[in-house]
Structure 1
Amino acid sequence: MARLNLLEETRFEKLPVSVYENDRIASKKVAYRIADIIKSKDRRGENTVLGLATGATPIGVYAELIRLHKEEGLSFKNVITFNLDEYYPMQSKAQQSYVRFMDENLFNHIDIRRDNIHIPDGTLKKEVIADYCLAYERQISAVGGLDLQILGIGRTGHIGFNEPGSAPNSGTRLVTLDDLTRRDASRDFGGKENVPTKAITMGIGTIFKAKEIILMAWSKKKAPIIRKAVEGEITGNVPATYLQLSDNVEFILDSDAASELTRFYTPWLVKDCVWDASLIKKAVIWLSGKVNKPILKLTEEDYNANGMAQLVTEQGPAYDINIHVFNLLQHSITGWPGGKPNADDSQRPERSKPTLKRSLIFSPHPDDDVISMGGTFIRLVDQGHDVNVAYQTSGNTAVWDTDVLRYVEFTIDFNQSIGEDTALLESTYEKMRKFFEKKQPNDIDIKEVQNVKAFIRKSEAIAGARFAGLQDKNIHFMALPFYETGKKVKNPVTKNDVELTMKLLQEIKPQQVFAAGDFSDPHGTHIICFRIILEALTKLKETEEWTKDCWLWMYRGAWQEFEMNEIEMAVPLSPQEVNRKRHAIFKHQSQKDRPVFPGDDEREFWIRAEARNKETALNYHKLGLANYEAMEAFVRWKF
């Protein structure tokens, strides 16, 4: 019976899928699979042949393999590896090369023989690449083929660098990269214009010959393409769908990457559900969108025709369900994000007492506060709350080099105008110019440049917070140590990051904390900053009485928005308030026109934020609620 139930739940899925709570658990499972293959073949006196991938996805797997080697004696002396791909052209010692990636993340830390490592050569002359690729295929065949190929997946659906249009029987070859693939890689190269347009990759046919194939994916960013790959029709437009033809493949996902699969996103379509309040809310909102009707106009026929007969039978009639969900949405809307004074707060998202609250807004970068919740920020100040803002990092990697020279030139001119000696400034300026002349994409800035970039972002953050109504004493710059590396890849979080956060929390003792909850930013900074806040508050809750009355609200902004069923507080903005928010964002001049790290959305941050806020308001209206100009959305973190 259990097997039948599982088949029913997964009937939309066209290949085996295993889902784990998070990427750490999933990565360890894959590492153990690899270790078992190595040990089994070692016992038989055979070599293990592994197909390896690069990028963020397999890093956890490699870290666990290193631990197994160092702590449990797993040997790689009889392991032969073939990497999937390499950019072309690419020098092996370049920061972005996959040779360097594999050395730093695996090979330098294990006992593998160097002549057993094979990675496509990005330094070849173009005219010899075709012969080289044929030889690469022959090398794989000569050692008995791949025992296991691990894969990631790109947002185009590419595996390796087999972009849309790749043939299912393709072999190792030189390919042209999709524009989206190059945009996704732009941060590693200091801009899309620096990303190579071509790569050498194993073909889909090469991958198919592996005895086992494991495709891994983590995070909600991968959820849409995972659904296409697992549940969609086989098509050259999504090369990963060809894996549906293999009998030896398994997708290993974290819960976020799996979140749009039918069994998780709309489970009522595949099984009987336990209809708790959150699932009812999600299902009714989904149904409203599916049949394009406001919630209060949904009928029993709508429920029955769309896989929700069980809900209306158990919880109906339909009108009662509709009213219940409509009221939940209505009660999430408030013009009083700090709580409405002297009001019944039993059905409001925030408490009415204390009437005036101490609110602390954490901003991972110096502009996330106004981009993501600028309207609410201004509303809290206008309504008399004691608002503080804390900028967790300097954001100094996201400033153009030309801005550095411009600001230093201004400083020199200003000092000269008031009779100050500028000799040291001019010397520093010349040092910067010489550095920029030789600087390569993603080179670490010299300390003087890092400082000026931090000063630029600090001055902009102060201007934005002042525009929102804050006094300078309520503006805090944390410069958390994990970030201050000058590098794209940041240091691990340490107790210093947490202790600095705890100290600020103890100083302010807020009743409200706002933190960035959009974890799809391409920097990865948001989720790191959120985890630091969470650890700090969790530790304080063990001993500090004031934390019992401290609520944590998550906001989102430039990168994504909460699902409608997740939103617990929606703050409506008038056209005038939208305009005030826009001008607060404009104070961040270094991020206007074209930010250094725009992600895959080329629009300016203020345009993205307004579009997202207006879309949230429109979604509420489509469900049958009032038609506001824009809305900022929040979800409360439950400890």
Structure 2
Amino acid sequence: MPFYSGKLLKKVVKSKKQQIKKQKTADYDFIAYFCLDKSVQQVKIMLETKKRDISYQPAGQFEETRFEKIHNVIFESSDEASLQVAEEIANLIRDKQSKGETCVLGLATGSSPIRVYEELVRMHREEGLSFKNVITFNLDEYLPMEKDNRQSYHHFMHEHLFNHVDIDPENINIPDGMVPPEKTKEYCLSYEKKIKDAGGIDFQLLGIGRTGHIGFNEPGSHYNSGTRVITLDHITRVDAGPAFLGIDNVPRKAITMGIATVRSARRIVLLAWGQNKADIIKKTIEGEISSEVPATYLQEHDNCTFVLDEAAGSELTRNKTPWLVDESLEWTEPLTAKAVVWLCSKTDKSILRLTDKDYNDNGMSGLLTQEDSYDLNIRMFNRLQHTITGWPGGKPNADDTKRPERAEPAKKRVIIFSPHPDDDVISMGGTFDRLVQQGHEVHVAYQTSGNIAVSDKDALRYAEIANTIAPSKEAQAIIDAIKAKKDSSIDPIEVRKLKGYIRRGESYAATRYLGLDDRYVHFLDLPFYETGTIKKKSLSEEDYQIMVDIIKKVKPHQIYAAGDLADPHGTHKVCLDAVLEAVKRLKKEPFMNDCWLWLYRGAWHEWDIDQIEMAVPMSPDQVLRKRNAIFCHQSQKDGVMFQGNDSREFWMRAEERNKETAEWYNKLGLADYAAMEAFVRYHF
């Protein structure tokens, strides 16, 4: 039986409120959502005894919408969600302690549960939460993988949880990544037996991969599979590539709990954060059960909840196209724009060609109760038209009433914050070029050194060139350190500095190409990034102060920052958090009254058309200039270390994305441009 925190309970109740008939007694109707099989008197007794073991109805007995088959709760942020999940786990541990029972937890690794573990550690230190009665079983481990390797899940769990709480080491169970091949079958059977002997898993925490895997149960996994050795899917290895500094270093096999093992847990909570999980979450929650998406097997578990942030839940039908779910919804302006763009795509029509029948046939008749389709179409067309501007800094001496940016001051001070040393040109190179050409005072602030993204091969080449031109002990020491490096080791500081200098040189080459004077280029080297590993430190006061100082120095009228938040623990998200915190601290400064913040997206996603508030068109010549600026970042070309799930080079992705945005505008009935860069304004 699950133990919900107050906030999580409210979320769960809210998510079911429109689907489940309430009891009429206000004092206990929140309990009644989960106790439809109980009488009024039974519910009252539950309240009087103050029980918190409120169970979900089995998944098949309720309907979040007619599309959904797994109960899910969506939070505004992954932080908020993680805190509530941690509280549920803590409540379970405490309740088991009060009964003198052990609490058996199934635990996951990866970026998704990190914040949950951080909160559990905080509860241990500050609230006395004890893990003395806790037995843990981890889902999986790479094979082969030594325990002390920084990429091992043994290392991960001790770094994030076990080293910081009072759990008995004998109660920690993590699959052995060095079990000999001839003993793997026997080992896997023994792992299953240990779970059974412990009484089974009370609470199983899960993440989900883009293949739909839970644990390492890749597509094709059987419903009744147990703990076993499995070959990793290529997509899974691609996603793990950054942590291993390249896909070639990612193991091809792993030991994992099976689907049946996971499903035997009495309570399952799956975490998913970020836009890059949205598609697989939709398939899992709304699709048919299939071995091709192993997570869909959870549809048949009677006590499973998916805990999502808004981005991860964005593709669910009730969020993506809510008019197909609820005919009585409130038609706000943003929702109307979203619906009209979707309708154009569905009917393959431009905005001004949509008819009453198009709206009525696609669940949008409610829109026509407020205005007829002719007026609605014109209003939505004009809304989109007004986002287009060739003057991203504002057009001087022009009526700016219907333009995305202000006309005055005619010459603006601008800061372009770039998380890595190439995000500026990849994400907004055309707009960058336009701002410089139109005479604005443009500053570029590279938030991190980007040193970890430089390969040893490139660093060695530069070190050898330097040593050839001017032989030195320092250059030779760097050469020796690179040649002696092991896969799991961290670069010494001298190597990291060289890699940072390589990125700096490339950045100068790009900004000079776009006509920007070197004195307007700033390298912030925020300390949170400088760990030498994929895992970064939390933002510190030093990071915030660096951000505050650069903004106070420039006093900008415009700030551009990366809003590409696919991974809540990724560098882009952390860098945006740094921007927002700095802006928050400076909001009382007089110059901030005239400062606007525009968010761009990176090489991975673009803003949805209905979200765009400023679209900057590019001519074919400007597309080529942007490409050449990206080419200046040679260390990130031809075999880039962090390729992600797209085999194309960054310049190819950027051009294709900008071209698609322009094509969308054209399909909706607007002008035909070669490419467009898109921005959303952040209101602080």
The TM-score, its normalising length taken from structure 1, stands at: 0.96
Give yes or no for the alignment of 1:617 onto 2:662. yes
Mapped partners of 2:334, 2:430: distance in 1: 28
Among candidates 521, 527, 546, match of residue 573 of structure 2: 527
- Pair 1:522–1:538, CA change in 2 (3 A): closer
Distance in 1 between residues matched to 2:350 and 2:399, nearest whole Å: 28
The aligned amino acid for 1:299 is T
Deviation string for 1:567-608 (max 9, x for gaps)?
000000010110111111111111111212111212111111
1:308 to 364, 368, 393: 364
Asked if structure 2 preserves the Cα contact closer than 8 Å seen for 1:294 and 1:623, the reply is yes
> The residue matched to 1:304 in structure 2 has which SS?
helix
Unmatched runs of 5 consecutive residues or more in structure 1: 416-421
**1:235 lines up with 2:284 in the alignment:** no
Residue aligning to 2:227: 172
Asked if residue 378 in structure 1 is aligned to residue 433 in structure 2, the reply is: yes
Deviation track 1:223-244 (CA, whole Å, cap 9, x = no partner) reads 1111111111111110001110
Q: Residue in 2 aligned with 1:435?
A: 481
Deviation (angstroms), 1:316: 2.4
Match of 1:419 in 2: none
Q: State the identity %.
A: 57
Q: Distance in 1 between matches of 2:332 and 2:548?
A: 36
Conserved 8 A contact 1:157-1:164: yes
SS for the counterpart of 2:529 is coil
Farther-moved stretch of structure 1 (397-406 vs 462-471): 397-406
Partner of 2:494: 448
1:473 equivalent in structure 2: 519
Q: CA deviation at 1:522?
A: 9.6
Letter in 1 for 2:344: S
Q: C-alpha displacement at 1:521, in angstroms?
A: 6.5
**Counterpart in 1 of 2:83?**
28
Do the aligned partners of 2:528 and 2:537 also contact (CA within 8 Å) in 1? yes
8 A Cα contact 1:9 1:270, kept in partner: no
Q: Which residue of 2 aligns with 1:547?
A: 592
Q: Any conservation in 2 of the 1:63–1:105 contact (CA below 8 Å)?
A: yes
Q: Which residue of 1 aligns with 2:639?
A: 594
1:274 partnered with 2:330: yes
Find 1:584's aligned residue among 629, 644, 649.
Answer: 629
1:482 and 1:382 map into 2 onto residues whose CA distance is 34
- Give me the whole-angstrom Cα distance separating, in 2, the residues matched to 1:367 and 1:523: 19
Which piece of structure 1 moves more, 553-562 or 479-488? Answer: 479-488
Identify the residue that residue 395 of structure 2 maps to in structure 1: 340
- Structure 2 residue 276 is matched with structure 1 residue 221: yes
Aligned to 2:180: 125
**2:448 maps to 1:393:** yes
Q: How does 1:178-577 map to 2 (within 5 A)?
A: 178-271=233-326, 272-313=328-369, 315-415=370-470, 422=471, 425=472, 427-520=473-566, 524-542=570-588, 544-577=589-622
SS at match of 1:430: helix
Moved more, 341-350 or 469-478: 469-478
CA contact (8 A) 1:522 1:599 kept: no
The runs of 4+ residues in structure 1 deviating greater than 6 Å are none
Cα separation, 2, equivalents of 1:123 and 1:461: 43
> Equivalent residue for 2:4?
none
The whole-number CA distance in structure 2 between the counterparts of 1:522 and 1:23 is 7
Structure 1 CA distance, aligned partners of 2:80 and 2:556? Answer: 34
Q: Distance in 2 between matches of 1:214 and 1:486?
A: 33
User: Does the CA-based 8 Å contact 1:85-1:201 persist in structure 2?
Assistant: yes
**What secondary structure does 1:5 align onto?**
coil
- Following superposition, the deviation at residue 255 of structure 1 comes to 1.7
Counterpart residue number, 2:59: none
Q: Specify the SS of the correspondent of 1:332.
A: coil
Q: Which range moves more in the overlay, 193-202 or 253-262?
A: 253-262
Aligned equivalents of 1:75 and 1:391: distance in 2?
A: 43
Structure 2 residue 5 is matched with structure 1 residue 5: no
2:466–2:475 Cα contact (<8 Å) kept: no
Contact 2:141 2:255 in 1 (8 A): yes
CA distance in 2, matches of 1:136, 1:384: 67
CA distance in 1 between counterparts of 2:280 and 2:129 reads 35
* Residues 417 and 445, structure 2, Cα contact 8 Å, conserved in 1: yes
**1:99 maps to which residue?**
154
What is the Cα-based RMSD across aligned positions, in Å?
A: 1.6
Q: In structure 1, give the amino acid aligned to 2:626.
A: K
Letter aligned with residue 16 of structure 1:
H
Rounded Cα–Cα distance in structure 2 between residues aligned with 1:323 and 1:46: 66
Shift in Å, 1:486? 2.2
Amino acid across the alignment from 2:489: D
The unaligned stretches of length 5 or more in structure 2 are: 1-12, 21-62
Corresponding residue number in structure 2 for 1:418: none
Contact 1:553 1:634 in 2 (8 A): yes
When residues 565 and 538 of structure 1 are mapped into structure 2, their CA distance, relative to the original with a 3 A threshold, is same
Alpha-carbon distance between aligned partners in 1 of 2:401 and 2:321, rounded to the nearest angstrom: 30
The answer to whether 1:157 aligns with 2:212 is yes
Answer yes or no: is the 8 Å Cα contact 1:190–1:442 preserved in 2. Answer: no
Cα distance in 1 for residues equivalent to 2:567 and 2:193: 41
Q: Aligned partner of 2:345: which letter?
A: G
Shift of 1:391: 1.2
Task: Note closer, same or farther for the CA distance 1:146–1:322 as it changes in structure 2 (3 Å cut).
Answer: same
**CA distance in structure 2 between the aligned counterparts of 1:460 and 1:619, rounded to whole angstroms:** 33
Q: Pick from 62, 76, 91 the counterpart of residue 131 of structure 2.
A: 76
Alignment partner of 1:10: what SS? coil
Work out the CA distance in 2 between the residues paired with 1:582 and 1:387.
20
Task: Find the aligned partners of 1:331 and 1:211 in 2 and give their Cα distance.
Answer: 54
Query: Which whole-Å CA distance do the structure 1 matches of 2:423 and 2:182 have between them?
Result: 49
The 2-side partners of 1:522 and 1:615 are apart by 26
What is the SS of the residue equivalent to 1:482? helix
Counterpart residue number, 1:636: 681
Moved more, 386-395 or 172-181: 386-395
Structure 1 residue matching 2:145: 3-state secondary structure: coil
Deviation, 1:410, is 2.5
2:660 counterpart letter in structure 1: E
Deviations 1:335-388 (A, max 9, x none): 111111111100000001111111111111111111111111111111111111
Q: 2 CA distance for matches of 1:167 and 1:487?
A: 36
Report Cα offsets for 1:268-305 as digits up to 9, x if no partner.
11112111111110110011111111111111111111
Aligned 8 A contact 1:48 1:78 in 2: yes
Structure 2 partner of 1:14 = 69
Paired residues in the alignment total 628
Q: Which residue of 2 aligns with 1:64?
A: 119
What TM-score comes out, normalization by structure 2 length? 0.90
Contact residue 464 and residue 479 of structure 2 kept, 8 A:
no
Structure 1: how far apart are the matches of 2:350 and 2:668? 4
